[in-house]
Structure 1
Amino acid sequence: MDSDSTTQRGRNPRGQGGRLRGEIIAATERMLDELGDDQALSMRAVAREIGSAATSVYLHFADRDALVLATLEQSHRDLLRAIDEAEAGNADPVVRLRARTRVLGAWAHRHPGLYKVLHESTLNQRVAMPFKQELTERTTTAIQRCMDAGLVPADDAAAVTLDLRAAVHGAVSMRLNQPDQPWPQLDEQIERFLVKLVGVPSVS
């Protein structure tokens, strides 16, 4: 018997393959967040994490890249859901924009490993990640709502989005790669980005 199969689980009942797939993705998400490197992940290690045989993982994912990509896409969907929840109940476009940007920054700060794999890994050169575009498009829409309401200066919303995205990602990345620096509170820095790059009224 394969040594990786010593804690092997029983075969999933008919119709429960989707549940095993979900367990595989959940385990991969935890491991990527700890490792911060998709190259350090192995299919066998994921199988051990869920108490299954490596063949069970390969039944759902052809290779490591496919597994990591599916995991990142699920994490991205969860992030979008958290952003939607933060925006819910707020009619003010500026309040909604501020809420969504803070959630994005907080998520990246809480999940440094996933953030690194999602944005800084070599997987980005090997595999297309079209799902990431949805977040950019939603931010552009949020900024355009602020402009349409006359709450921020009229401008090219897509260009402003790229500026804001670069600033927030840079702030998070520098914290992860230079943790010993005396960084200000992330929310405070994000607020300055919103004021200076988008033109939202300062809350101070």
Structure 2
Amino acid sequence: MDTTSSVSSARGRNRRGQGELLRRDIIGATLRMLNELGDDEALSLRAVAREVGIAATSVYIHFSDRDALVFAALEQCTLDLMRELDHAESAFGDPVAQLRARLLYLATWVSDHAGLYKVLHESALNRRMHLVFKEGLAARTGAAVQRCMDAALAPAANAATVALDLRAAVHGAVSIRVNEPGLALPPLEEQIDRFLTKIVGVSLATG
């Protein structure tokens, strides 16, 4: 019995205009598997096809190889994350509170998506491909820092440089938690507040 044909038949053929739906299903399955694996090189297109319930050849209709699939999945993941970060920020009117909310949401996201975080920021894929969509995350952090400076809530400086230092500190803090979960560490929220005061130079309300 041809199991590949059986799987494909079980899912059924896509009707006209449903190709994009299948593409989304493939990306969704890829993101789930990457989060479980924490390693893009451990992912196989055949395994993704099994997860979706289609023949492996159907994956190649949309993605030429594994790197192309992982790139598309991480791009979608990053676009979704940027919208979520913007939403978290929008709950506050004060630029400092907005920046803090952005960083705290990122920390929460990483705790729920540790595997995706590793692939997005620590995998060899970063050396093989230019993950251009990540530039949006950096730009938004820079803009958030600039708003603090424009409101005179942080010392005037090169916002891009300050944002880079801030991102490096936050990534280090979340990365050590992902890779060494057994370490006794202070609450991440406390670390982020220290980064904001020491790196950006803002004052945080207490009490």
Once residues 104 and 138 of structure 2 are traced to their aligned partners in structure 1, the CA distance between those partners, rounded to angstroms, is 15
Give 1:200's aligned residue. 202
Q: Is this contact kept in 2: 1:29–1:71, CA < 8 A?
A: yes
Once residues 2 and 77 of structure 2 are traced to their aligned partners in structure 1, the CA distance between those partners, rounded to angstroms, is 31
Q: Does 2:193 correspond to 1:191?
A: yes
Residue identity opposite 1:179 in structure 2: P
Once residues 2 and 114 of structure 2 are traced to their aligned partners in structure 1, the CA distance between those partners, rounded to angstroms, is 33
In the superposition, the TM-score normalised over structure 1's length comes to 0.96
The correspondence for 1:94, drawn from 65, 84, 96, is 96
Quote the sequence identity (%): 62
Residue identity opposite 1:192 in structure 2: R
Give 2:75's aligned residue. 73
Q: Is this contact kept in 2: 1:87–1:100, CA < 8 A?
A: yes
The correspondence for 1:182, drawn from 165, 180, 184, is 184
Give 1:154's aligned residue. 156
**Offset at 1:191?**
1.2
Residue identity opposite 2:164 in structure 1: L
Q: Is this contact kept in 2: 1:4–1:44, CA < 8 A?
A: no
Residue identity opposite 2:29 in structure 1: A
**Offset at 1:70?**
0.3
Single out whichever of 11-20 and 90-99 deviates more from structure 2: 90-99
Q: Is this contact kept in 2: 1:5–1:54, CA < 8 A?
A: no
* 1:86-125 per-position Cα deviation (integer Å, ceiling 9, x unaligned): 1124221111111111111221221110000001111001
The correspondence for 1:21, drawn from 17, 20, 23, is 23
Single out whichever of 106-115 and 40-49 deviates more from structure 2: 106-115
Give 2:39's aligned residue. 37
Q: Provide the secondary structure at the position in 2 that maps to 1:95.
A: helix
Residue identity opposite 1:197 in structure 2: I
Once residues 59 and 185 of structure 2 are traced to their aligned partners in structure 1, the CA distance between those partners, rounded to angstroms, is 41
Give 1:7's aligned residue. 7
The correspondence for 1:128, drawn from 122, 127, 130, is 130
**Offset at 1:202?**
2.4
Single out whichever of 104-113 and 118-127 deviates more from structure 2: 104-113
The correspondence for 1:112, drawn from 107, 111, 114, is 114
Residue identity opposite 1:119 in structure 2: H
Q: Provide the secondary structure at the position in 2 that maps to 1:6.
A: helix
Once residues 115 and 6 of structure 1 are traced to their aligned partners in structure 2, the CA distance between those partners, rounded to angstroms, is 35
CA RMSD of aligned residues (A): 1.2
Structure 1 segments of 4 or more deviating over 6 A? none
Q: Does 2:167 correspond to 1:165?
A: yes
Once residues 7 and 99 of structure 1 are traced to their aligned partners in structure 2, the CA distance between those partners, rounded to angstroms, is 44
